[in-house]
Structure 1
């Protein structure tokens, strides 16, 4: 069953770096798959895990860009995969499973943010389809390799933006309601947290534990679809396009942004635990739905009943049933 959603406390904090979070951890002989592992906090995640001895597989939509970004890192393989393309997910996973290797760490890091309204070939809204459904399909297809490990962890990157929106189970793909790109992003991030919860409930008996992560606010390529005027309207940029002092004080470095991911992936502090939403290298504080604070996790992102509804919805939308489906 999922662990209680409350801080340990871990002794770490918002300024902890990924190297500090993993200090002294030997990952020799471990194998990790990191989506989006060639840019931003994904690249830093790969660098630190590799430095601790892990072998890494990075599925990449842009293989040449990934090769350039990861060229200097040891024990890193790059293979093509596009989370927006179900057939490419199947191709990548089929080849990985056929290799017979156990998968110890699966880090669902890739994502898109605040994109214009678009639907994929199956009619699914692009942020929900990429950030959640693509990763749901990837976990399902890689399940034999995760189970083979016997002590695997799955880390799903959520966000503090989960507070923007619950999952709209009646219209998740914006076929009827008016599209709001930030609400759609928030819905996908709530889905990420609920997926980790649902996966942990189902996977614990097989030795697979799952965690969701809020990495913090980091200046990365994730905001490439957000126009400057939108960032200014939200107070993220001033009239000159510069980051405002208030927002700058909230930002983390890339090294700090990857810390909670690697902590959830490999820290012995989380042995025997799972199903929790984490931030600042600790289990996050549960917060009431009407909170105005920018930390912690809201009730709709840690609700087992919603996690079950999302699991069923995801099975129906992808046509993939696993773990008792």
Structure 2
């Protein structure tokens, strides 16, 4: 028994860092990829930053929907800042090594921000449900105190599971290759590098993803079923169109984020390749945060009006 423990400890100490392969198989395109991702990151910072500012300063946007959107935009900046700056370093310097501790820290914060985003999207769906299905009591129920509690609850609820997932994964023995075939530290590629049987760890990972992602997703589905039923009962076609337009942007974001994330985490490794896994992870970690400001602004007359008033200043 003691010998087994000692061997496990020895094996864990073998790997002191990982090599993030990223786009190493495209050596002639490193500069182009760096420019593309830098442009994406700048657009994320500027787009979400503008959403934060205008929903804070414009008097017409002081409603629960834009309060949640402001926090969601701030979360998107945090979410992408966990992975993209490190990706820039790898593309620019070609030094792809990342220490054990740095990898664990990146994974933990990536999971926390991702989980918070799932819960916050569920909160935003609940807000739309209350606004459309219970409009008379909406101002009373969705008051400032309730909104703050829902946002704080989204952040706090997303912390315990990622910490447990990160601890369990980095307690595994990594005694073989340290080449991580991914663009950042994520659960599926890390499990592929672990020694021995990782079945229990994969089950725990899926259970954590279920609680952090599937449960909020189901809450969103339930909310929108109720919303659609209510909209169909509205007597006016104009009223139905207006009610649905307030939800369409949120639905687009939910489809992009949850669609790619669920496929990446729940599709068996035997079905998906490392290339597909990279593409999916880039969609939910990079592409979706880039499109969010466009989706919410181009499809929202109030946001467009606020932008026109703000930008000349």
TM-score relative to the length of structure 1 = 0.28
State the structure with more CA Rg. 2
Q: Give the number of the structure whose residues are more often strand, by fraction.
A: 1
TM-score relative to the length of structure 2 = 0.28
